[in-house]
Amino acid sequence: MSPAATAAAVLPTPGAYIHLVNTARTVLLYAVGGVVGILLGLATAQVTDTCTGSCNGGRPTFAVWQSGLIGLACAVVVLIACALLDEEFIPVTRQWLRAAWRRRSGDGHKREAS
């Protein structure tokens, strides 16, 4: 049996393996973006001003909301870089958004019935 026939016999639909790999890679890229955002947000929260005189440590340079905003911006930059570097990032994300929109609007039940 040829390798293509073997692969077709093992996988229920052609391309199912590729779809799973693309989905897993996209989930990993979203996780990396989230972790980078959280870590950079925490790092900016630790930045303090030096104080002269008698103080018990520095006061924070950024407010909590500013640290969160910086972390969010860094996560968005990482996700934009992922979208530019990985050609399957946008199609998989678009597919997830369409599925979520169908679930939210109730279209999924109508399509399955017809």
Residue with tokens 């678009």: 94
Burial of 28-46, coded b for 16+ CB within 10 Å and e otherwise, reads ebbeebeebbeebbeebbe
Q: What is the pLDDT of residue 105?
A: 86
Query: How do residues 10-59 score in pLDDT, each as one tens digit?
Result: 545 555 566 777 888 888 888 988 899 899 888 888 887 776 666 666 67
Domain regions of the chain by residue span: 24-103
Q: Which of 68, 82, 3, 17 is nearest to 40 (CA)?
A: 68
pTM of the predicted model as reported, rounded to 2 decimal places: 0.64
Q: What is the pLDDT of residue 85?
A: 85
Query: How do residues 60-74 score in pLDDT, each as one tens digit?
Result: 788 888 888 988 998
pLDDT over threshold 60, residue 75: yes
At 13, is the secondary structure helix, strand, or coil?
coil
| Residues 6+ positions from 78 with CB-CB distance below 8 Å | 32, 33, 36, 37
DSSP-assigned letter for residue 12: S
Tokens at 72, concatenated:
């969010």
Give the C-alpha separation, 67 to 17, whole Å: 40
**Beta-carbon neighbour count of residue 16 at 10 Å?**
11
